[in-house]
Amino acid sequence: MAVEGKDRSKALEAGAQMLSGQLGKTVQRLRKAYNLSLSELAEQSGVAKSIISQIERNETNPTLATIWRLSQALDISIDRVLSSADDEPFIQKSSRADTPILVSDDGKMRLAIIGWIKTVEWLQWYDVQAEPGAVLDSDSHQRGSVECLSVLEGEFEVEVGGVVQQARTGESLRYRCDRPHTVRCIGNTPGRAVMVCILKAAVMD
């Protein structure tokens, strides 16, 4: 049965609000996954900080141009930004193009964000690929956070608070990441690892 007149307008408005709400949650999760402030995302996307804040709080219905700018800045396809979680199947596939990539300051370590976007505020995991000598310096996460680095290939070392520990293929390192920490790919061969970060974990003694 077709929806006409005022009923059609109400239906369209309800649909727009639902889409905007999902968009706000997605933008906020991706922004936090990249550790971007509102100001930094505004600078990278060209969208005003106030508009991004309104989008995240579901207080505005952004234009398609605005959504496109945000998707470009967050390195994700526009259809994924607009997808509704309620309609997604239990088995969900993400293409390589839809997988955001973080790069270390020296350009030698790449972290593909392979974790579920819904859990990024408390659980994050990455596919880490590094060239020999690559260094990833990270700021403190929130208090009680713990990180786990499981080495698949090569050799890595982690430094936290002046303490350094190394791990080779098949070994894992678990460490507090609520203080500045550094991950290095050591040796003469490229390294690969899986990194899992548990945020808001119980405070360790």
Q: pLDDT at residue 117 above 80?
A: no
Q: CA 180, CA 186: separation in Å to the nearest integer?
A: 19
Q: How many CA atoms lie within 13 A of 39 on its CB side?
A: 0
Reading the block at residue 68, the tokens are: 């496109």
pLDDT band at residue 203 using 50, 70 and 90 as cut-offs: very low
Instruction: Pick the closest to residue 47 from 28, 25, 66, 33 (CA basis).
Output: 66
pLDDT in tens, 52-107: 999 888 888 888 888 888 888 887 777 666 665 555 556 777 778 778 889 999 99
Amino acid at 167: A
Phi-psi region of 89 (alpha: psi -120 to 50; beta: other; left: phi over 0): beta
Neighbouring C-alpha atoms within 13 Å toward the C-beta of 164: 7
CB 173 within 8 A of CB 149: yes
Rounded mean pLDDT of the chain? Answer: 82
Beta-carbon contacts of 29 under 8 Å, excluding residues fewer than 6 positions away, are 117, 118, 120, 121
8, pLDDT greater than 90: no
